[in-house]
Structure 1
Amino acid sequence: MRHVLRMSHGYVFQHLVDGRPTVSDLAAKLDMTQQGASKAVAELERLGYVERLPSPRDARIRHVALTTKGRDAVAAARHARERLEARLRERSQRAAVDGAGGTAFDVTRAVLVDLLGELGGTAAVHRRDVRPPR
């Protein structure tokens, strides 16, 4: 199954989990143009993850909300994060018990290397193709 959600969609989802902002509100929260936010919302709407609903106070205003599919995607992402954290926790505990962990720094480094591998970033590091943070 091909995943259509991208990492950038997660930034939009974060603001929809506990709220129903307008596109303008989203643009401000995401520090982007209203046009960019509108494009992201339109894409997620087309994919069935969000919907635009009229404001209870003013029918001209539309709020963006997660659909059932969107809420399911949030739940799936949270579950995936929990599984990843459990695997990394187990590895770090095993390293500490085995005595192979060394210092707290060594254990932390090993867990971060494992995390990089889990997220598919190891090849980019080996190619020296890692973008610096903004």
Structure 2
Amino acid sequence: MSDDSGQVSIEVGLLLHQVYTEATQRLNDALRPMNLASRHVTVMFLIRDGVQTQRDLVARLNTDKTGMVRVIDDLERLGYVTRTPSTLDRRVTILALTGDGNQALRKAQQHTKRVSAELFHAVSPHELDTLRSILMRTLAPSSARREGPAAN
């Protein structure tokens, strides 16, 4: 490992943060007329894809419970998400997208695709796929630690 590797790692980390910040700002600007932000859309995608409880969302997004309650409250107020008590465990609430929620998610997905296309316009599909692969490998150990030994 060269002496420059530490500096490169720091630079990569800063660049990742800058790209994340830029992408989030652009997406939030695009979603504002829908009274949504990127955090809402992320939760809606996960609910659509089968994450059904607040506890699962908190674990999946590595976030705090209070913030997640606010996001779910917002989505429920907009009519995009329902909360239903679990028939198996009354302490658990099952989350589901409503018809309006699915429609809003499709519209938000159009904004997401447009913002991504603008942000990554100078990156080839192959390079983007390589970046995705690298980031997934980088995150794999963290995901395994969060999910615990049962996930392995």
How high is the TM-score relative to the length of structure 1?
Answer: 0.55
2:122 corresponds in structure 1 to 109
**Count of aligned positions:** 89
Helix, strand or coil: the match of 2:84?
A: strand
State the 1:56 CA deviation: 2.9
Determine which of 38, 42, 53 is the counterpart of 2:73: 42
Q: Which blocks of at least 5 consecutive residues in structure 1 are unaligned? A: 89-107, 112-134
Highest relative contact order (Cα 8 Å, sep 6+), 1 or 2?
2
Q: Residue 58 and residue 33 in structure 1: after superposition, are their counterparts in 2 closer, same or farther (change >3 A)? A: same
The reply to whether residue 28 of structure 1 matches residue 59 of structure 2 is yes
State the 1:42 CA deviation: 0.9
Q: Deviations over 1:57-94 (max 9, x none)?
A: 22332111111111001222334556x49xx6xxxxxx
Q: Residue 32 and residue 80 in structure 1: after superposition, are their counterparts in 2 closer, same or farther (change >3 A)? A: closer
State the 1:110 CA deviation: 8.4
1:105 corresponds in structure 2 to none
State the 1:46 CA deviation: 0.9
Matched AA of 1:5: L
Q: Which consecutive aligned stretches of 4+ in structure 1 deviate over 3 angstroms post-superposition?
A: 78-82
User: Could you say which structure has the larger radius of gyration?
Assistant: 1
CA RMSD of aligned residues (A): 2.7
Rounded to whole Å, the distance in 2 between the matches of 1:28 and 1:20 is 10
Q: Residue 81 and residue 37 in structure 1: after superposition, are their counterparts in 2 closer, same or farther (change >3 A)? A: closer
Asked if the contact 2:41/2:108 (under 8 Å) is kept, the reply is no
1:114 corresponds in structure 2 to none
Helix, strand or coil: the match of 1:26?
A: helix
Q: Residue 59 and residue 24 in structure 1: after superposition, are their counterparts in 2 closer, same or farther (change >3 A)? A: same
Determine which of 48, 55, 73 is the counterpart of 2:104: 73
Q: Percent identity?
A: 33
Out of 39-48 and 17-26, give the one that drifted further.
17-26
Matched AA of 1:109: A
How high is the TM-score relative to the length of structure 2?
Answer: 0.49
